[in-house]
Amino acid sequence: MLRKKIAVLMALMTISLNVPLESVSAMDFGDVSGDFDIKKVPAPQIYNDYLENPDKYLVKPSSVNNEDNAPVDVSENLPESFDLRSEGLVSSVKNQGNYGTCWAQCAAASMETSLIAQNPFIDISEWQLAYFGMVSSHESDYSYGSAADDSSSDTDFYKLFEPGGSQSLIINNAIHWGGVSDEEKFPYGFEGIANEDYRYDSDYHVSDIYRSVENLTASENVNSQVKELVYDGISVTLSFLSYDGFYNSETGAYFGDSTVTTEDNVWASSHAVAIVGWDDNYSKENFREDMRPENDGAWLVKNSWGSDFGNNGFCWISYEDNYASFDAAYSLEYADNYDKLYENDKGLANPWDYYISQNTKEGYISNIFTAEENEYISAAAFFTNDNGTEYEITVYTDLQDETNPASGTEHKITSGTEKYAGYHTYDFPEAVYVEKGQKYSVAVKLANPEKNFIATASSLPTLDNADDYQKFRNLSFVSLDGKTWSDSSEENENDVSVGIINLRAFANSADKIEFSDYAPYVENGEKISLSADSGNDIYFSYDGNIWELYGEPIEITDSDTTIYASLSQDGSDAVSHTYSPQTAVLSSLSVYNSDGYVKDITISSGSKAVTDINESITGNMSEGLAVIPTAPEGTTININGKVVESGERYSFSMGSEPSLEIIVSAENKKSTVYNVNYEAQYVDYINEMVIFPESDVKITAPDGTELESWQSISDYIGQTLEAEYKDGSGKFEIVLPQRPAKPENVTYTIDYDKMSIKFNQDISYSFSGDDSGSCYETYQKEGYIPIDRVNGQIMYCRTPATENTFKSEAAEFKLDELADAPEAEIVVKSIADNSISVEPIDGVEYGIAQVYSEGYNYEYEWSSSPVFENLFPATSYSVAVRYPSKDGKPFSKLKAVSVETTGVELVTDIRYLTGKIMVITDDKVSIADSEGNIINYDADTDTYLEQVDILQYKGQQLTVTNITQNYSYKLQIPDSPGFVSEVSVDYKNEQLNINTNGKSVYYSVDNCETWELVENSDSVDSLTTFLPTIGDYVYFKNGCTDKSFESEIYAMFIPQRREADFKVELDKSGSTSFSIKPIENAEYTIMPFEGMGSFIYTENTEFTDLEPDTYYRLDIRLKADDSNFASMSKSVTVKTPADSKSAVKLYAQQGDLDGDGEVTSYDALLVLQYVSGESSIDDEILLMADNDLSQEITSYDALLALQYVAGLVDNLPVVGESGQL
């Protein structure tokens, strides 16, 4: 019978050989090693550029790298244009004033948008966000983040905010429950903000931070993600360059042209705004004529420069803007919903993403916490690092092993898919009870669709004593299977530590009563539910005196309702929440005339609507009058009996409609009636002039002068103007009020080093009593004083004008007189082409200024040195001395002499950072290379522009000719310096050791196509870093500086791993143990197939205490030494028997299916039986049967085994076309 079966199988084999099979790629059983391969996720290029050029970025980019995110499946039904204003979902435009807080302004705008439909009066404090973002209690990626306990300069707000900020500062505060409060608590400019008690003072908490588009530039899918977020009512922040040269003021539109980047004030204009809409058809003709995008389309953004900027405070930014980069978006929830935040990363650095494994897309994160009281764990929050990440949340209570977060009672919580990468909060469908002192963990399984397994963590600080790190142990963990966990705070074999995972839990006290809604406003008829996780009875009251047992939800009617709730029948320890019926209100109301926008009307004050509105409106009010109201979706707007859509223009005239009644209503909301009374205001109080339609109105001054529109009325302040309509319909008077009295109690301080002044109140100031030469147009608490105004000058200070009052009378202040100049004469010691030195004079400081023209007020650069270097040759300078300022007193008058450097006037300057020549002249210049090729440059219209790319001329001498002045000189272009850093390979730890020698180091692994900065190489002398590749070349170079080009390229070959060319033989075998024959210079590791984790290699060849009836993987490799990496691993499969009488089987090589350590004809028979369905092969050794790596088991695999036994093939597997030898 057996012989018959073999005959049939051999026939099948023959058929298989005669029918060639399709060639298929090798079978992929997946990497089941379980090895952790921890690396920092590389920062995006924009962040690396920020590290290299920090001064370029007033809005700092974050380190989040979204370049490889999975694409988001977005709706195909997004409209071609959309405007959140028309939906009534945009809060009022703010003005950041003179503070560099745009990054906080746009974050607040995004947050407000998330709740404005529920709370139309929401107004987040930008001041609190900015201050506690900048004055961080956490370590910061940014050098300007002050420590909270060293805030000596933190009340100098101008200085504090001058460097700008980033969304990372907002995020790092927000995830720790940093304060997000209403504006009325911490108004903008509030000087008492420097109080650490205010850091966590919150009316709201950030529940979600959408980071899927952060640091990305425009692309079809990215733009669609942004549009979908905005369409869903989530405003996305955006950074760009608000350079005046990119702006069309007529249309309020920006387009950043990539060819204009060399001027300092371009980069100094980095700015952040909030996207509130888009228009795919916004015409490219709306942008500047001299620089336009190729296609139509633009983002509508909300700015923070007041409503006078752009289009009522909004502007457009082209989809194709070369400097626009998307940032984060935010959603808020009310702060009452949880009692407590549990986190292990408070006080640590900003979050950073880490690859935990390079060969799997899923893994686990967990944090262990200790309950501070009897309470219920109600929610968790963590970062997802890909779009479409799947998550599963589990809580383990009563942990038995503090090194294993899964060693307790398991509570499966919830699972789902998170559409957008970012930080997200998840409410638990059922809270989990923990008792005081009990250790519990929150564990999350994450599965990314595209990216390998990433965890977001905060790195540990550098501590002097290794024992100090113990406080971070047993808090935070990562795993690849949810069973074998590794402490993320401990360094791995490559000295890499992830740190503390950004995973947090939220708890409510055991006796907490929860309200179903914590919003201050609810729809009429909404029912509020009360619940207690404890399951105890709840009692409620409307007045706090009469209590009844709660049984069903409580309905909110059309009046304010306070609900008291208690677990006690007598109402002790009661909690309460007050609900106001949601009111249908306007989001904004703007007035227009025929000339365009006039003003925004104030329609709210704090948390109330302003309904009685009396407005005096400046401008041409005789024609083209209109208002544009906006309100949330579902709102009906009725103006004087006519229904108007949100965002629709309602036109009217003064004669027929002297007032407007605007009724705003919505289902289940109280209606609001706005009465708007307006009158034409022909007086512009700020600019002190009259503006009126001359064709319709005649205005006469008291002295009989007939005034023209736009004419000054400063001489008539306090008097009455006569006015009449030219059509004879009537006369009226325009009463000009008196100027307010001069301001009182004005004090100021002057910083003479910075030439800045700071007042104790909002003041406009001038150095001319009649305002000539100064318009008082800005008012502020601090500003700049021209140096020539300091010497007993009279300073005039006024209370600034408003829309209804003139600026005040002037208070006069005499500034300090300057002491006499030093008596000693300035003696020039030496003059050279590039330097001047003078003889030292006791007690003075030395200044130098380039002389441009007669009568020019020189801006001197002052220092304590009498030597001036880095000057231009053949150039006139003014060298001066003066006594420095001291003890609040100004510097002295100066004494100066003129000095001209020697040499020929240079008109070029080498700019190493850009690889170009700066041409500095108004003359015509030609530049010739060493072969006489001429590059002409005519500076008659374009001065100070980098024009000549000199990278191709490195090491050559160019000839520069000033054609206008008729002289030439030689300009030596330096060559690339040599690579001065030292790089070596640490084969045992598989890392690079780099001695930077004070230079930044870049590396490339793609033949110098792209370069990455070696992290920290620009700030430390020596470092270790990961190996970017093995078995290939790595190229290195030193970065350029302001004094040298990039270095020459240094190539280093990183050797390949050695092959694992050795035979594995069984030595001794038992039922739960075995040993193998030692292999010279080898190391070994073993782990069960199921539940693989991190492999730890040892020299031990004996393996004991194995589980019965279990497959193990045994990996053997040659150890690393001083010149070789550890070899490639050779993997063999080991199977322990189910009973104690049998021995361990060792599947030592390809084709060995019976575990006897060799390939025999019996192994070929096992293959044939599997093909015919007579028997099965365990999945763990199925790969051993695929002898041609064709991804399927066929009779041809059996033939190869027989040919190997017969010596016809040397090795298995045989890789080639299936069925062919």
What is the per-residue DSSP string for 835-872? Answer: -EEE---TT-EEEEEE--STT-----EEES-SEE-SPP
Integer angstrom CA distances of residue 669 from 123, 559, 563: 21, 11, 20
Task: Kindly report, residue by residue over 230-249, the tens digit of the pLDDT.
Answer: 999 999 999 999 988 899 99
- Tell me, yes or no, whether 113 and 256 share the same domain: yes
Looking at residue 1105, its pLDDT comes to: 84
Beta-strand relationship, 236-241 and 270-279 = antiparallel
Residue 107: band (very low, low, confident or very high) from pLDDT cuts 50, 70, 90 = very high
3-class DSSP assignment, residue 42: coil
Looking at residue 770, its pLDDT comes to: 60
Residue 383 inside a domain? The answer is: yes
Q: Is the pLDDT of residue 1053 over 80?
A: yes
Whose tokens are 């957008």? That residue is: 420
Question: What is the Cα–Cα distance from 82 to 234, expressed in whole angstroms?
Answer: 13
CATH at 990 = 2.60.40.10
Residue 1214 inside a domain? The answer is: no
What's the per-residue H, E or C state across 1021-1044?
A: CEEEEECCCCCEEEEEEECCCCCC
Looking at residue 621, its pLDDT comes to: 52
Looking at residue 597, its pLDDT comes to: 64
For the ranges 402-416, 862-876, 1178-1192, the one whose mean pLDDT is highest: 402-416
Q: What is the pTM of this model?
A: 0.60
- Tell me, yes or no, whether 374 and 479 share the same domain: yes
Mean pLDDT computed over 1058-1083:
88
Mean pLDDT computed over 563-578:
93
Mean pLDDT computed over 113-136:
91
Looking at residue 772, its pLDDT comes to: 39
- Tell me, yes or no, whether 149 and 260 share the same domain: yes
Residue 250, CB half-sphere, CA atoms under 13 Å: how many?
5
- Tell me, yes or no, whether 386 and 429 share the same domain: yes
Beta-strand relationship, 325-334 and 924-928 = unpaired
Q: Is the pLDDT of residue 18 over 50?
A: no
Looking at residue 8, its pLDDT comes to: 30
Residue 1006: band (very low, low, confident or very high) from pLDDT cuts 50, 70, 90 = confident
- Tell me, yes or no, whether 308 and 415 share the same domain: no
The more confidently predicted of residues 155 and 125 is 125
Q: Is the pLDDT of residue 857 over 60?
A: no
Task: Kindly report, residue by residue over 24-48, the tens digit of the pLDDT.
Answer: 222 222 333 345 667 777 777 777 7
Looking at residue 659, its pLDDT comes to: 85
Looking at residue 153, its pLDDT comes to: 44
- Tell me, yes or no, whether 1048 and 1079 share the same domain: no
Looking at residue 10, its pLDDT comes to: 36
- Tell me, yes or no, whether 165 and 265 share the same domain: yes
Across the chain, what does the average pLDDT equal?
84
- Tell me, yes or no, whether 226 and 308 share the same domain: yes
Residue 743 inside a domain? The answer is: no
- Tell me, yes or no, whether 1040 and 1172 share the same domain: no
- Tell me, yes or no, whether 259 and 388 share the same domain: no
Looking at residue 496, its pLDDT comes to: 62
The more confidently predicted of residues 908 and 470 is 470
Name the token pair of 412: 């499966």
1195: nearest Cα among 6, 14, 3: 14
Task: Kindly report, residue by residue over 749-797, the tens digit of the pLDDT.
Answer: 888 877 778 888 888 888 776 653 333 444 455 666 766 667 888 888 8
Looking at residue 1218, its pLDDT comes to: 46
Mean pLDDT computed over 455-484:
86
Q: Is the pLDDT of residue 431 over 80?
A: yes
Q: Is the pLDDT of residue 19 over 60?
A: no
Q: Is the pLDDT of residue 143 over 50?
A: no
Residue 361 inside a domain? The answer is: yes
Instruction: Provide DSSP, 905-951.
Output: PP-EEEETTTTEEEE--SSEEEEE-TT--EEEEETTS--S-EEEE-G
Torsion of the alpha carbons at 1146, 1152, 1155 and 1158, rounded to the nearest 10: -80
- Tell me, yes or no, whether 320 and 464 share the same domain: no
Question: What is the Cα–Cα distance from 393 to 414, expressed in whole angstroms?
Answer: 5
DSSP state of 1079: -
- pLDDT above 70: percentage of residues in the chain: 88
Q: Which of 513-527, 584-598, 996-1010, 1160-1174 has the lowest mean pLDDT?
A: 584-598
Which of 581, 602, 631 delimits the end of a domain?
A: 581
Which of 291, 315, 331 delimits the end of a domain?
A: 331
Task: Kindly report, residue by residue over 943-957, the tens digit of the pLDDT.
Answer: 444 456 788 888 888
The reply to whether omega before 1213 is within 30° of 0 (cis) is yes
CATH at 1081 = 1.10.1330.10
Task: Kindly report, residue by residue over 263-294, the tens digit of the pLDDT.
Answer: 545 666 789 999 999 999 999 999 999 899 99
Residue 150: band (very low, low, confident or very high) from pLDDT cuts 50, 70, 90 = very low
Looking at residue 615, its pLDDT comes to: 73
User: What is the number of domains present in the chain?
Assistant: 10
Q: Which of 79-83, 92-96, 915-919 has the lowest mean pLDDT?
A: 915-919
Name the token pair of 17: 């050989």
Q: Which domain holds residue 432?
A: 338-509
- Tell me, yes or no, whether 356 and 429 share the same domain: yes
CATH at 353 = 2.60.120
Task: Kindly report, residue by residue over 454-468, the tens digit of the pLDDT.
Answer: 899 988 887 777 777
Which of 282, 297, 331 delimits the end of a domain?
A: 331
Task: Kindly report, residue by residue over 196-223, the tens digit of the pLDDT.
Answer: 899 999 999 999 999 998 888 788 889 9
Residue 296 inside a domain? The answer is: yes
Q: Is the pLDDT of residue 922 over 80?
A: no
For the ranges 83-97, 370-384, 604-618, 1107-1121, the one whose mean pLDDT is highest: 370-384
Residue 889 inside a domain? The answer is: no
Q: Is the pLDDT of residue 341 over 60?
A: yes
Q: Which of 302-311, 609-618, 1003-1012, 1182-1191 has the lowest mean pLDDT?
A: 609-618
Q: Is the pLDDT of residue 884 over 50?
A: yes
Residue 1089 inside a domain? The answer is: yes
The more confidently predicted of residues 853 and 34 is 853
Task: Kindly report, residue by residue over 397-413, the tens digit of the pLDDT.
Answer: 999 999 999 999 999 99
Residue 16 inside a domain? The answer is: no
Question: What is the Cα–Cα distance from 165 to 104, expressed in whole angstroms?
Answer: 8
- Cβ-based neighbours of 288, under 8 Å, separated by 6 or more: 245, 246, 247, 248, 255
Integer angstrom CA distances of residue 296 from 79, 278, 986: 15, 11, 54
Task: Kindly report, residue by residue over 685-699, the tens digit of the pLDDT.
Answer: 888 998 887 888 899
Looking at residue 931, its pLDDT comes to: 77
Looking at residue 953, its pLDDT comes to: 85
Task: Kindly report, residue by residue over 898-912, the tens digit of the pLDDT.
Answer: 999 988 777 777 888
Name the token pair of 649: 């223009």
Q: Which of 389-398, 544-553, 624-633, 875-884 has the lowest mean pLDDT?
A: 624-633
The more confidently predicted of residues 123 and 21 is 123
